[in-house]
């Protein structure tokens, strides 16, 4: 398997084809990036056997190797004898059009992520509720560990998998659509270390569709729900569970992203959400109503993500195959840059690369598109202060336009 990968790289180009992702070569290699002032298509990843007739359900870039990204895929109804769930690891560094690794399991994979602090592991959340763990050191394509389908774990689809913590103390946090949140040790998936039901006002179970942790926080997080409501929640302490409710969307929340660019001003209280109601909304954990609603789309908005490096920039994708980049320092009415993919299939997922230059988007035909955002994505030192002013203007306009202002939430 390893020698086949090396041969494919050798035939494709002349980079360091002997680089080993299972951990023997830990040089910090930056991917080669092109310049440019608008969205330029950089790569298209598609495997005739594994991608065809499958929808991309989730994406994640490797925190260890910036050129690797994993995409999860649901079942192929035209191939009942093939595995229902697939995760493919793609490599940006080499011009080969086959995946670096192929992983699969028995249930459609609806969420996927590289396990932070465990560079060899890929975590998948499945439609059945099972959490699966693949290891690129193993010679099998099937999971090396999986959780039981039992009342102690998940029995509903798991749309959120997130490894949080530090190198020496980390947990896998998972949430299923019935509102159950579990915390796991990656060494032992036979039972969760802790489990909690996410209910609002001690009565209403939250049907969770997405979850995000603010930068550096392992206790507090934000969840989106099927009914369109957003909630803040915490794992521990006297207020463990659902804390505050945020109303504004008229349809299910499809995507959720906390502000994570670190700089001279702290914007970690901000988050953005996307929804079936055709909008993206900007929120602060300090207000229970949206600060702003972006209404330039004419279809479901399926996902949204803040830039990891630019304070005022986020990306969104919709059902018409459109990728939008919004730089709020430039304009809040229309996106700064837009591109519609060939064939205009629905775009389900968007993920920025860790350097903030490349944007990966996955579509409903199993194709993974990589765009280079070029100069659009590069922050300038004044962008932080400009964004603070932009926010003040947004809040001022919002207060003018509303009889009933937002309720201030005490931290």
* Interval 8-49: pLDDT, tens: 776 666 566 667 776 555 444 333 333 334 899 999 999 999
Give CA torsion, residues 131, 116, 241, 258, to 10 deg.
-120
CB 355 within 8 A of CB 66: yes
Look at residue 344 in the predicted model and tell me its pLDDT: 74
Which long-range contacts (C-beta less than 8 Å, at least 24 apart) are formed by 22-26?
Answer: 22/120, 22/136, 22/137, 23/119, 23/120, 23/137
CA count, 13 A, side-chain hemisphere, 93: 23
* Residue whose tokens read 């020698």: 3
**Taking the alpha carbons of 176, 181, 187, 189 in that order, is the dihedral positive or negative?**
negative
Look at residue 171 in the predicted model and tell me its pLDDT: 93
CB 171 within 8 A of CB 189: no
Look at residue 12 in the predicted model and tell me its pLDDT: 65
Per domain, the residue ranges of the chain are 43-400
Look at residue 27 in the predicted model and tell me its pLDDT: 43
Parts of the chain with a pLDDT under 70 = 7, 10-18, 22-37, 400-411
Look at residue 402 in the predicted model and tell me its pLDDT: 58
Rounded to whole angstroms, what are the CA distances from 382 to 37, 263, 305, 329, 350? Answer: 19, 11, 22, 10, 27
Strands (E), 249-334: 253-258, 270-275, 280-284, 292-294, 301-306, 313-318, 322-327
Q: Classify strands 292-294 and 194-197 as parallel, antiparallel or unpaired.
A: unpaired
CATH of span 43-400? 2.130.10.10
C-alpha 349/C-alpha 339 separation (Å) is 15
Residue 53's closest CA among 92, 86, 7, 97? 86
Beta-bridge partner residues of 165: 170
CB 328 within 8 A of CB 390: yes
Q: Tokens for 3?
A: 């020698």
The angle formed by the CA atoms of residues 331, 336 and 337, to the nearest 5 degrees, is 165
Cβ count near 212 (within 10 Å): 22
Rounded to whole angstroms, what are the CA distances from 37 to 46, 128, 190, 220, 372? Answer: 26, 43, 49, 37, 9
């Amino acid at each position: 398997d390893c020698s086949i990968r090396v041969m494919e790289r050798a035939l494709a180009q002349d980079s360091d084809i002997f680089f080993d992702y299972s951990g023997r070569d830990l040089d910090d290699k930056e991917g080669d990036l092109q310049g440019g002032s608008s969205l330029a298509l950089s790569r298209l990843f598609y495997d005739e056997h594994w991608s065809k007739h499958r929808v991309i359900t989730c994406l994640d870039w490797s925190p260890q190797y910036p050129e690797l990204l994993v995409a999860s895929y649901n079942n192929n109804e035209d191939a009942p004898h093939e595995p229902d769930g697939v995760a493919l690891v793609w490599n940006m560094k080499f011009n080969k059009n086959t995946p670096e690794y192929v992983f699969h399991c028995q249930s459609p994979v609806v969420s996927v992520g590289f396990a932070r602090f465990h560079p060899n592991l890929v975590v998948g959340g499945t439609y059945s509720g099972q959490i699966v763990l693949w290891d690129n050191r193993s010679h099998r394509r099937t999971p090396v560990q999986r959780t039981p389908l039992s009342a102690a774990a998940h029995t509903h689809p798991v749309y959120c998998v997130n490894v949080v913590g530090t190198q020496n103390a980390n947990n896998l946090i998972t949430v299923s659509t019935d509102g159950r949140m579990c915390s796991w040790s990656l060494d032992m998936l036979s039972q969760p270390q802790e489990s909690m039901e996410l209910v609002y006002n001690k009565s209403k179970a939250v049907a969770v569709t997405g979850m995000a942790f603010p930068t550096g926080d392992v206790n507090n997080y934000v969840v989106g729900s099927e009914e369109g409501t957003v909630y803040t929640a915490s794992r521990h302490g006297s207020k463990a569970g659902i804390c505050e409710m945020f109303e504004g969307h008229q349809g299910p929340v499809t995507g959720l992203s906390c502000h994570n660019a670190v700089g001279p001003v702290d914007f970690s209280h901000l988050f953005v959400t996307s929804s079936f109601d055709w909008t993206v909304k900007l929120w602060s954990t300090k207000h229970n109503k949206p600060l702003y609603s972006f209404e330039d789309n004419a279809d479901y908005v399926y996902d949204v993500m803040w830039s990891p490096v630019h304070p005022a920039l986020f990306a969104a994708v919709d059902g018409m195959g459109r990728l939008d980049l919004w730089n709020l320092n430039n304009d809040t009415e229309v996106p700064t840059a837009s591109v519609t993919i060939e064939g205009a299939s629905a775009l389900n997922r968007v993920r920025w690369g860790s350097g903030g230059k490349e944007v990966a988007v996955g579509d409903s035909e199993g194709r993974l598109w990589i765009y280079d955002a070029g100069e659009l994505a590069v922050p300038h030192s004044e962008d932080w202060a400009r964004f603070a002013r932009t926010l003040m203007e947004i809040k001022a306009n919002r207060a003018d336009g509303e009889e009933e202002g937002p309720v201030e939430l005490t931290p």
